[in-house]
Structure formats: C-alpha cells, structure tokens
A and B are shown apart, each in its own frame.
Chain A
C-alpha cells in the first residue's frame, strides 16, 4: 500500500473498525468531578465488566457509580421498567444521598427502546432527586463523547438567566462565582476580591470537565485579561450550575464537546465562541485571544507569555524535534495534540480520529493548517472512523518514531519495535493551559527516551516470525 504525504489537509473516512473505549467510561472521571452525583449505568454485564476493568482500582473506593444490570426478564419488558428503576433509585438515595442521579443509557436500552427520558421526569417528581439522562452508548459514540452526551444533558438543567438589567441579577452571578471558587482555600482573598469585582465582559460560561486545578489555571489566565467567568459546566456541585440565556457566551475547552456546544446554542440560545482548544501554549494563547477578540478586549502580554513557556520547554523540544508521529485515533483530542506537536517540530503522518465535527473544530483545523505552513511540514492526513488493520499496514511502511494508540495495540506494537504512547493517558493527564504543556511533552518523551536507553541492545523486534499473520 503506497502512502502519500499530502500538501493540503485531507480528510478521509475508513471503515470504523477501530478500537476505542466505550463512552460509558466517562463515568470514571465525571463522578469524581461532580462530587454530589451518582451515576447509574443501565446496561448489561458487558458494560459492567468493561467499567470494572477499565476503572481499575477506582472501583474499590466505593465509587458513586453502579450498574443497573438488566436481566433476562427486563428485555422483553416482563418487568416494569418504571418500577424497577424506582426501586434501584430509592436504594441509591438511601445509601448515598446524592444531589443528582445521572442515568447512562447504553446499547441495550437503545435496542429495547427503554424510555429513560420518559421515565426520568416522572420518577424525579416522585422521589425528589433530579435524574439526568445521557445516552452514552457504543452504537452512536466513542470514548470521550460520553462526556459530551452527559454535559449536553446537563445544559438543560442549568437555570434560566434572568435578562433583567440592574443590581439584583449581578448579585446572583457574584454568589455563583464565589461558590464556583469554593475549592480554593478560604484565605485566598485575592481571588475572591477580583471575582466579586464588577464584571466588564458579558457572562461567559466554559464547558468541559477538567480537574479543579486546571480549571482554576484557565480561569486565572482569563482573569489576567480581565475577563470574568460566570461559571463552568460541569461544576463540582450539581446545584451550582451556571445560569444560561441568550446573552451568555460559551466556549469549549475540549474538542469532543460538539453536542454540548450545539445544545447550548440551539436550546439555550447561548453564543458559542469557536476557538482552538487550550492545549499547548500555542493553543492556549489562540484560545484566550479568540475570547478576548469576541469581547473586544485587546489581549495583553500573551506573546511574551507564550514565548516564555516555549523557552522553558527547550530541553524537551530538543528530544521531539524531527520525530515522526502517528495517531491511531480514539479520543477526539487528536487534532489539538497533533497541532501542538507540529509546532514542537515533529512531523505527523496521520491523525486518526473517531469522528470529526468540522464546524465545532473549525478554528482548530484552521490553526492546524496554519501551523503546518509555518513549520513547513506536510499536512497530515486526517482519517475519520479509521480502520485499525489498514492503519497497521501504513504504520509498518512509515515506521513512525511514535504512535499514539489504545492499550489493545500498544504492547504488540512495542514488541515490533514501534514506540507507543497510550492515548488514554491524555484524557486523564493535565494537558490544558500554558503550564501543562510540559506534561504533554513529558508523556511523549518517555517512550522515546526509553528507546534511547535500550539502544545498545539489539532487541527491538521481540516477536516470533511464525507467530502472527499481521506482520
């Protein structure tokens, strides 16, 4: 198979035979983010087996998540869905007392057409705990898109912003902002003062689940430009969700949140700021600049700040410059990561990606194209719904220095002398903002460096010749 490297950004679509995590895995990070939530995955043993194995040790820490395992009787609706889910929810409320129960619909509930959206409001009224329904199933979505479906469902629960003029509304906002910063130590007067201080920009809500520390870093970056954030989706506490309305601006922090963006625009009438994502110092700067430009603020000192970050990365950059990278694709962070890596001086052969929302990622794609031009590096091919088998053939031909891949392929590739980095790590590591660029590079350099350490051994290929037909 001949592999061409294109001069323009090309989009392809393959068979969709690729490995990724089931979207219900979003429960793993969302239950930790939304501290007073309880996630109930309505599915089968298959779903349960996946989550207990992929969540690893987390499962033993009495997580605020469980399976509502469908049994044979549930399938032909011999048992009453409403009664059954009520029984389980009452059990959950009794044991854990959550502020919200989030039902995750799965493939099975789709196929048997269990009316979760219909049952939830009735049950909610009866038991007095909000029930949010998200259909994060493998029929429609891949991996991180699970978070997208949950957040899209959560946007419907945000209070309506009263579009009144004057003090009262402002006060409500201030209180919310304060509560939003409740994770900060109480003596952090500085932050509180600035937050309470009068807001110049229209209300801005950011969406995407990030660890609190990272969320704080991003909001203080915006504060440097005197931009106040009036809230995040999601919040640490379900009851603190920001209010939404037609004068509210929203901006995403992750590339896989297109449904949430759509829901915010169409259902809540918010105005979406389409920006590259704050991954890497280049992305972070472009993200801030775009928000500033929308609010008519001239961004201050960003160029200097970006340069400072790049300077601090010099040691790492030396190790990645000139290397070639291949993304197999499993969590739509690929475009942003590739763009950052190209800026770091690598060549990217292929960006596999589960799905590509060209509208939501428009700014990021444009940025990627410009980055390639700036760096005088051939445009990578973007392969939507990749075919892992075909990718392996291309990879054997290209022999990239580093492959971003899921864990199903990582060990076999390592054994064939191809360096890998598990893509899953990028969904859990802190990669957003100026300060975390180093984290991304550290993750990437580790396998490259390991390889250098073993250079003196002639043990790159550790597979028996007769063993596998794939090679």
Chain B
C-alpha cells in the first residue's frame, strides 16, 4: 500500500480510452463498476466535446461478482454493435476486471462472431502500466490488428506514395495542446512538400489503417504515445520514423533534418532528385519564429542566469529544459519527469542542460525540491502551478495533467515554429510577473486592498493646487502615481477636497 494524495499519470484504462475515443466510429466498452466511466466527464468537460464520448461500461455489480459476467459483456457488445454500428469495439479492462480474472478474451471471441463490428480486447494490465504506456500499447495493438487483417485479406498495398508522405502518430484526445500541435505539424509538413498520409489516432477511421505502409516515413511528435506503433511499423514494413520532438528552434531543425535524410533515401530512387530543407530551416528560424531574435533582445537578457525548475511528462519536460537552457540562457536548476518508465531517455536528453535530474511521481518530492531551490519560475503541470502558488513562485503550465484552462480555444501549439513563439511568450510572461512582484514589494505593495472610490480615476474627487502638483512632479516617475494615490486616499479619508502643500506633507508623513 502506498499513501497517495495526487498522481501525475492516470490508470491504464484511461490511456486505452483516449486512443479508442480519438478514432472515429470506435466504441470502447469498459468492464467496470458503476462510476468508472468518469473518462466521459473529463472528455466532455475538458475537451468541451460536442459529441457523446463513445465509451460505455458493462457494469460489474454484485451479481457479476458472485456469478461472473456470463452473457452480460457479450450482450453489451452486440447491443452497441446494433445501436451505433461502430467499426471497432474495444473491450477495456479496468483495475476491477484485472483482479476478477474473467476470461475477457473469450467474451471478445464470442461477441466478434455475432457482431458486425470488429471486437478486440485491450491488452493492458492495470497494475503494470499507467495511462501513457497503455495508450501507446493500445494504439500499437489496433494498428497491428488492422494491418494483420489486411494482410490476411490480401488487401494490403505496400507500395509507397508517389510524392513524399508521412504518417503523424500519437495525436490523441485529452493530450496536452494536441489539437494545436497537430495543425502546426500539418503545416510544417505541407511547407516541406510532404503529403500527410494518415494521422492517428485522432480523427481517423480504423479501416484506413491499412494505408499506413504507404507513407515514406512515420513522424512521432510525442514520446509517450506512438513510439511503439512506429517501432512496429519499422520492424514489419521497414518504414523509418522520426521521433525528435519539434519543440524549440534547435530541435525543430534537428527534426526537419532527420526528415530530410529519410526522404532523400527514397527520393534518390523515386523522384531521381533530393530535397534540401536547409533554406527553409534558415528562413523560418530567422524570420517566422521570433524565438531566436527574442533571446537576443534585451528583454531576454534580463532572464539570463535566472533559475528555473521544470517538471512534466518526458517529452515536454525534456524539450522545455533544452529550450530554456540552450535557447534562452536560463539556468535550469532541476529538470524532472514523472515518466519513470522512460528515465534513461530523459536523463540522456537533459544531461548537460540542467544542474540535477528528478525522476519521481510524488508531487511532495517536487514541491520540496522547488522550495529548496527557490527558482524564479517553475514550468510544470497543474500540480506545479499550485506548488508555485503556495510558494509564491510564478509557473507556466507546459505538460499534462492539466485543467480546463489548458484546453484553450485559441491557437496555442507547442510544436513547430509557431510553437517556439508560444513558448517564448509563456516563458517571458511567467518570469515577468515575478519581477513585477519583486518591484511592487520593494515599493511597499499594491494599495488596491482598500478601494477609496468607485472608479479608478481619482481626479474627480480631489483637486491638487499648482504648488502641490509641482511638488508631486519632483517625485521620481516610477513612484509618482503610487504616492499620488496614497495622498488622494489620505485626503478623501480626512475629508479634504483640495490638496495643498500642507496636506501633501501631512499625508507623506502618514505614508
């Protein structure tokens, strides 16, 4: 047993459901007790989904506990098959079904004979994997299933497309800024003259999965979801993949160069020419992305050598660490991730870019680390935001888990060249309030606690005579309005409507 107040990654079935409901016309049936369909609430609320989340539960209740599910699961599958005619139904085990040890595969086998939909059992173990690993695994399982099916049917067409093309793998529902990243990545590939073959799982149909092998290469923007699929496709079909996350100018360039390498391997034969993306990288870095210019500007010089702590999933924490350190000159005192299963990769990525590495899924440990380091800003998840609030340190949210405010309606990619701009803004805005706060403290705090008049404009209430106005103008400009306000307040408080030099000094003494 473990005493837990908060966790970063959800249980395994959440990962499976994220993948299932990202596809179109795929329905997930959870083998779970009443109340475990909380995923539907999250998707409906956080993503503000207009459509019903295609997830239902085959309820495990007392009867199931004593007699087993018997026909219940099969009935629920066939019923859903008739009601919604999905292409695929994924039976999703939960922690409860893990211990019940019912033969879910048997239910799936029975149901797939009766129903028109394909039926599979998500191969995830609640006690072994978390949300992210399960999502990765489920996506691979679905892809493997449909490619296997196509191969058996002999409909699998392995010839690659005429023009360079790519699959984007790993965009999913409830992913951190996934929708925006997706748009940005699509644009990036289009700019490079690369056709998008498929994007999975978000918005795609399972029957199109057999077209995956037509792509020249696979593109996996996030480490957490999609890598297994890419590895499988490489092994099975020899499709190379790019898994450099295009976050920050340096890594975006690195990513594009890798893409170029893969394309040229085939282009020499297929197109009898090669591509050169260097001018594109150069042009984008210099003029489309503002990030490099920004880090040269005097604003950013103020940030140099400030301390920051970074925490999040492996992809975002590693990328942010590199961006802050390499592209903005900020000192990353500590970089950490809760993706314990990927710690070797993380260590290798952030090594050289931070003072220390923290691998943990205990938020208290992160909080203690932040408290000890006292950084000028934190970049983390929703939890770090709250840690920051308690310690009075500004925080930029850069990774899941997040709240509804991190599912913005406006365009906020983290990837690609527009992503570099968004990140620069986010970083800058996180540090600046910290500076402001510091200055405000230096000059005695905001005087907003006590409202003296209904409107912010005080001119109406109190008149300054010329002599006092002159005196006021002698006060250094950065403090002037603050002191004027205090004197106004003093006058109003004591019933003076006109301020002369005497009242002014009386007020200054009271300040």
CB of B42 within 8 Å of the partner chain = yes
The size class of the interface chain A forms with chain B is 35 or more
Interface 9-residue window, one of B94-102, B180-188, B256-264:
B94-102
A45-B11, A48-B7, A69-B1 known; A139+B33 contact, CB < 8 A: yes
In Å, the complex CA distance between A45 and B125 comes to 12
In Å, the complex CA distance between A406 and B62 comes to 24
Q: Which chain B residues in 78-131 approach chain A with CB under 8 Å?
A: 83-86, 94-96, 99-100, 126-128, 130
Q: Is the CB of B1 within 8 A of A408?
A: no
Q: Which chain B residues in 363-388 approach chain A with CB under 8 Å?
A: 383, 386
CB of A99 within 8 Å of the partner chain = no
CB of B61 within 8 Å of the partner chain = yes
Of all chain A residues, the one with the shortest Cβ separation from B99 is A111
CB of A415 within 8 Å of the partner chain = yes
Residues of A within 8 A of B84 (CB): 469-470
CB of B13 within 8 Å of the partner chain = yes
Of all chain B residues, the one with the shortest Cβ separation from A85 is B1
Cβ contact of A67, chosen from B5, B35, B53, cutoff 8 A? B5
CB of B48 within 8 Å of the partner chain = yes
In Å, the complex CA distance between A59 and B6 comes to 8
Q: Is the CB of A75 within 8 A of B127?
A: yes
Cβ contact of A17, chosen from B25, B56, B99, B100, cutoff 8 A? B56
A60-B386, A75-B127 known; A411+B3 contact, CB < 8 A: no
In Å, the complex CA distance between A372 and B95 comes to 45
Min Cβ gap A143→B in Å is 7
Q: Is the CB of A469 within 8 A of B50?
A: no
Identify the interface centre among A53, A75, A410: most chain B CB within 10 Å of its CB.
A53
Cβ contact of A412, chosen from B5, B50, B57, B86, cutoff 8 A? B50
CB of A52 within 8 Å of the partner chain = yes
In Å, the complex CA distance between A470 and B61 comes to 26
Interface 9-residue window, one of A86-94, A188-196, A263-271, A374-382:
A86-94
Min Cβ gap A87→B in Å is 7
In Å, the complex CA distance between A115 and B430 comes to 50
Residues of A within 8 A of B53 (CB): 408, 412
Q: Is the CB of B38 within 8 A of A50?
A: yes
CB of B475 within 8 Å of the partner chain = no
The interface bits of chain B over 1-16 (1 if a CB of A lies within 8 angstroms of the residue's CB, else 0) are 1111111001101100
Cβ contact of A45, chosen from B50, B56, B86, B126, cutoff 8 A? B126
Q: Is the CB of A69 within 8 A of B45?
A: no
CB of A108 within 8 Å of the partner chain = yes
Q: Is the CB of B33 within 8 A of A53?
A: no
Cβ contact of A138, chosen from B14, B34, B49, B386, cutoff 8 A? B34
In Å, the complex CA distance between A116 and B34 comes to 21
Q: Which chain A residues in 122-151 approach chain B with CB under 8 Å?
A: 137-143
Q: Is the CB of B95 within 8 A of A68?
A: no
Cβ contact of B1, chosen from A59, A60, A79, cutoff 8 A? A79
Q: Is the CB of B62 within 8 A of A139?
A: yes
Cβ contact of A46, chosen from B2, B36, B65, B83, cutoff 8 A? B36
CB of B41 within 8 Å of the partner chain = yes
A44-B95, A111-B99, A407-B41 known; A137+B5 contact, CB < 8 A: no
Q: Is the CB of A66 within 8 A of B52?
A: no
CB of A357 within 8 Å of the partner chain = no
CB of B59 within 8 Å of the partner chain = yes
Q: Is the CB of B99 within 8 A of A50?
A: no
Min Cβ gap A306→B in Å is 37
CB of A20 within 8 Å of the partner chain = yes
Cβ contact of A112, chosen from B7, B32, B99, cutoff 8 A? B99
The interface bits of chain A over 11-26 (1 if a CB of B lies within 8 angstroms of the residue's CB, else 0) are 0000011011111110
Min Cβ gap B325→A in Å is 29
CB of B40 within 8 Å of the partner chain = yes
The interface bits of chain A over 245-286 (1 if a CB of B lies within 8 angstroms of the residue's CB, else 0) are 000000000000000000000000000000000000000000
The interface bits of chain A over 54-73 (1 if a CB of B lies within 8 angstroms of the residue's CB, else 0) are 10100110010011111110
CB of B60 within 8 Å of the partner chain = yes
In Å, the complex CA distance between A427 and B389 comes to 29
Q: Is the CB of B50 within 8 A of A415?
A: yes
CB of A107 within 8 Å of the partner chain = yes
The interface bits of chain B over 392-414 (1 if a CB of A lies within 8 angstroms of the residue's CB, else 0) are 00000000000100000000000
CB of A315 within 8 Å of the partner chain = no
Cβ contact of B40, chosen from A137, A408, A467, cutoff 8 A? A408
Residues of B within 8 A of A85 (CB): 1
Q: Is the CB of A409 within 8 A of B44?
A: yes
CB of B436 within 8 Å of the partner chain = no
CB of B51 within 8 Å of the partner chain = yes
Q: Which chain B residues in 330-365 approach chain A with CB under 8 Å?
A: none
CB of B37 within 8 Å of the partner chain = yes
Q: Is the CB of A70 within 8 A of B37?
A: no
Q: Is the CB of B44 within 8 A of A108?
A: no
Q: Is the CB of A22 within 8 A of B96?
A: no
A21-B35, A22-B34, A45-B95 known; A68+B83 contact, CB < 8 A: no
In Å, the complex CA distance between A183 and B50 comes to 45
Q: Is the CB of B7 within 8 A of A111?
A: no
A50-B35, A412-B51 known; A140+B61 contact, CB < 8 A: yes
Min Cβ gap A416→B in Å is 8
Identify the interface centre among A19, A85, A141: most chain B CB within 10 Å of its CB.
A19
A46-B11, A112-B99, A140-B62 known; A17+B3 contact, CB < 8 A: no
Residues of B within 8 A of A44 (CB): 11, 95, 126
Q: Is the CB of A408 within 8 A of B41?
A: yes
Min Cβ gap A401→B in Å is 20
Residues of B within 8 A of A21 (CB): 35, 38
A16-B34, A107-B33, A407-B41 known; A139+B3 contact, CB < 8 A: no
In Å, the complex CA distance between A87 and B3 comes to 10
A17-B56, A19-B37 known; A52+B7 contact, CB < 8 A: yes
Can you list 26 A-B pairs with a CB-CB distance of less than 8 A?
Answer: A16-B34, A22-B33, A23-B35, A24-B35, A45-B7, A45-B95, A49-B14, A50-B35, A54-B38, A54-B41, A66-B4, A66-B5, A69-B3, A92-B3, A107-B96, A111-B99, A111-B100, A112-B99, A139-B62, A407-B44, A408-B40, A411-B44, A463-B50, A469-B84, A469-B85, A470-B51
Query: Which 3 A-B pairs rank lowest in CB-CB distance, beginning with the nearest?
Result: A22-B35, A138-B33, A408-B40
| Chain A interface residues (CB < 8 Å from chain B) | 16-17, 19-25, 42, 44-46, 48-50, 52-54, 56, 59-60, 63, 66-72, 74-75, 79, 84-85, 87-88, 91-92, 107-108, 110-112, 137-143, 389, 392, 406-412, 415, 462-463, 467-470
| Chain B interface residues (CB < 8 Å from chain A) | 1-7, 10-11, 13-14, 25, 32-38, 40-42, 44-45, 48-53, 56-57, 59-62, 65, 76, 83-86, 94-96, 99-100, 126-128, 130, 383, 386, 389, 403
